[in-house]
């Protein structure tokens, strides 16, 4: 039985939020209902576990059950008192600088979201415009919006537990993007979220680009299963999955999708659903699905599912390039000229896509419960973008059942989620999910996968 190595340490801020008010400190210390301490502890532990391949959030939280965060507020500023922190976050007793920066980014975003977004009353979080405004303010506060801006931020989606050849492929694509001066934004975790950043750092170094951006966007529900990697130099913790997905499509200029599992399928459905909105018909957002030759069956099944459910119009919004990293980078790079021309023509900002219409169906937080999952409407007669929204919710619920310890507890108590809909779409969904299981894309921490869902 391995011994969990831990460290006690006092850490000063670097990068952001160097002082706290008394009210903010009290909020962060509070463990009662509505208090921020459990959320802060969870997110900070995930950051300190950076580099770990463990994706069982419950197991991680249990292993470090003695971990705690305290606050020391001397006259000169703020210090965190960490007890039982993972040893891997330190080198010779000193915390790795990248991890230290991410630690205080967590603190910044948790404090800002609670006080300025949720409690201030300034944002109508029930309206589409209010939600978009909240997303803008959170990413602006995190420093993601750079002025003067260029059209050069490529969002990379994909699985956190991919095979070695798929991971190496993501690095090659990132390298080709970096050579072309493009920056990378991912979900900030391991696997297909780390590989493109790692490759881009080499491409940037060869081009003597010292201002490379490696943006990570995550949310509290998945951060424990997908610990941020310390290559990230701009991290933002969005309050929920829906705002996280909207942040990706608002700040990014193009999308590259690597192999993954059901979470990657959720991201694809979100973007396609947004692009299928009638108001977005002319919006140029290049999307390339890519992987090594071994990933071809994954993308073939995704493409078949999209064609059969959302139709040819959705399929026309992306291209699939297999086993050709340089072609992926060339395609994205050339397509960004269309994005730049469109933004210039319409007077839209380069740093935030205000013109993109995101329907409220894609913005309202979806909490995966047995009742919510079984109530989803999924049938052929729905508008395509609304069907995409409900398919996205179904996949989101499965992701939640796979990686969130609170949802996993519900599954243990009440059994798998029931997903209902028209017979033809349910058969297509069942076939797609079965393919993910067969391709071992639904495994958690290397164990056999026990489905958290039932399609009927």
List, for residues 60-71, the tens digit of each pLDDT value.
Answer: 778 888 999 998
In the predicted structure, residue 81 carries a pLDDT above the cut 50:
yes
Q: Which residues pair with 418 in a beta bridge?
A: 454
Does domain 6-122 correspond to CATH entry 3.30.1850.10? yes
**Which token pair is 418?**
């029931």
* pLDDT of 14: 78
Cα 372 to Cα 366: distance, rounded to the nearest angstrom: 8
81-85, 122-126, 253-257: range with highest mean pLDDT: 253-257
Lowest-confidence segment of 27-41, 198-212, 262-276 by average pLDDT: 27-41
CATH of domain 137-346: 3.40.50.450
For the stretch 218-255, what's the b/e string if a residue is b when 16 or more beta carbons lie within 10 angstroms of its beta carbon?
bbbbbbbbbbbbbbbbbbbbbbbbbbbbbbbbbbbbbb
* pLDDT of 445: 52
* pLDDT of 53: 64
Query: Is residue 117 very low, low, confident or very high in pLDDT (cuts 50, 70, 90)?
Result: very high
Mean pLDDT of 431-449: 76
Share of the chain above pLDDT 70, in %: 95
**In this structure, is the dihedral angle defined by the CA atoms of residues 251, 257, 258 and 260, taken in order, positive or negative?**
positive
Same fold, 6-122 and 137-346: no
Query: Is residue 1 very low, low, confident or very high in pLDDT (cuts 50, 70, 90)?
Result: very low
Contact status, residue 216 vs residue 235, Cβ threshold 8 Å? yes
**In this structure, is the dihedral angle defined by the CA atoms of residues 397, 402, 408 and 414, taken in order, positive or negative?**
positive
Query: Is the full-model pTM beyond 0.75?
Result: yes
Mean pLDDT of 400-407: 83
In the predicted structure, residue 444 carries a pLDDT above the cut 60:
no
Residue-by-residue DSSP string for 292-348: -GGGHHHHHHHHHHHHHHT-HHHHTT-EEEES-HHHHHHHHHHHHHHHHHHHHHHT-
Cα 241 to Cα 353: distance, rounded to the nearest angstrom: 19
Mean pLDDT of 350-370: 94
Helix (H) or strand (E) holding 79: strand 79-86
Contacts 24+ apart (CB under 8 A), 202-205: 202/175, 202/178, 203/174, 203/175, 203/176, 203/177, 203/178, 203/179, 204/178
Cα 121 to Cα 103: distance, rounded to the nearest angstrom: 27
**Which token pair is 331?**
């395609």
Domain-wise residue ranges, the chain: 6-122, 137-346, 361-455
* pLDDT of 78: 80
- Residue with tokens 């459905």, as numbered in its chain: 269
Cα 180 to Cα 137: distance, rounded to the nearest angstrom: 30
pLDDT in tens, 32-56: 877 889 899 999 999 998 876 666 6
In the predicted structure, residue 268 carries a pLDDT above the cut 70:
yes
Query: Is residue 175 very low, low, confident or very high in pLDDT (cuts 50, 70, 90)?
Result: very high
Distances (CA, A) of 293 to 141, 177, 236, 297, 352: 41, 20, 33, 9, 35
Cα 456 to Cα 433: distance, rounded to the nearest angstrom: 13
């Amino acid at each position: 039985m391995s011994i969990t190595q831990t460290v006690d340490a006092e850490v000063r801020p670097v990068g952001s939020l160097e002082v706290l008010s008394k009210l903010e400190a009290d909020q962060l210390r509070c463990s009662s209902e509505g208090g921020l301490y459990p959320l802060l502890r969870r997110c900070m532990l995930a950051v300190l576990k950076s580099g770990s391949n463990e994706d069982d959030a419950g197991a991680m939280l249990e292993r470090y059950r003695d971990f705690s965060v305290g606050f020391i507020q001397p006259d000169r500023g703020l210090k965190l008192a960490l007890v039982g922190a993972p040893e891997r976050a330190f080198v010779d007793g000193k915390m790795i600088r990248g991890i230290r920066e991410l630690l205080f980014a967590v603190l910044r975003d948790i404090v800002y979201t609670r006080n300025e977004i949720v409690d201030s009353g300034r944002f109508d979080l029930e309206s589409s415009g209010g939600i978009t405004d909240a997303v803008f303010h959170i990413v602006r506060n995190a420093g993601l919006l750079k002025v003067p801006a260029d059209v050069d931020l490529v969002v990379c989606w994909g699985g956190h537990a991919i095979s070695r050849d798929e991971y190496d492929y993501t690095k090659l694509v990132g390298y080709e993007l970096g050579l072309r001066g493009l920056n990378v934004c991912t979900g900030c975790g391991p696997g297909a979220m780390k590989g493109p950043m790692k490759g881009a750092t080499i491409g940037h170094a060869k081009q003597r680009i010292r201002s490379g951006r490696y943006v990570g966007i995550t949310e509290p529900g998945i951060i424990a299963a997908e610990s941020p990697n310390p290559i990230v130099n701009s991290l933002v913790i969005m309050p929920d999955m829906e705002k996280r997905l909207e942040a990706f499509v608002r700040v990014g200029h193009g999308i590259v999708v690597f192999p993954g599992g059901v979470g990657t399928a959720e991201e694809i459905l979100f973007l396609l659903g947004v692009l299928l909105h009638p108001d977005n018909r002319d919006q140029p957002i290049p999307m390339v699905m890519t992987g090594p030759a071994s990933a071809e069956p994954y993308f073939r099944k995704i493409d078949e599912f999209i064609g059969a459910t959302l139709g040819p119009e959705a399929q026309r919004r992306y291209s699939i390039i297999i086993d050709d990293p340089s072609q992926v980078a060339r395609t994205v790079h050339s397509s960004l000229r269309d994005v730049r021309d469109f933004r210039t023509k319409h007077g839209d900002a380069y740093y935030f896509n205000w013109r993109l219409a995101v329907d409220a169906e894609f913005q309202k937080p979806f909490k995966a419960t047995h009742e919510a999952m079984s109530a989803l409407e999924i049938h052929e007669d729905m508008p395509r973008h609304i069907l995409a929204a409900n398919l996205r919710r179904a996949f989101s619920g499965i992701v939640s059942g796979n990686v969130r310890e609170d949802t996993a507890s519900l599954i243990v108590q009440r059994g798998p989620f029931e997903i209902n809909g028209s017979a033809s779409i349910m058969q297509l969904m069942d076939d797609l999910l079965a393919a993910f299981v067969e391709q071992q894309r639904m495994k958690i921490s290397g164990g056999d996968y026990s489905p958290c869902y039932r399609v009927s």
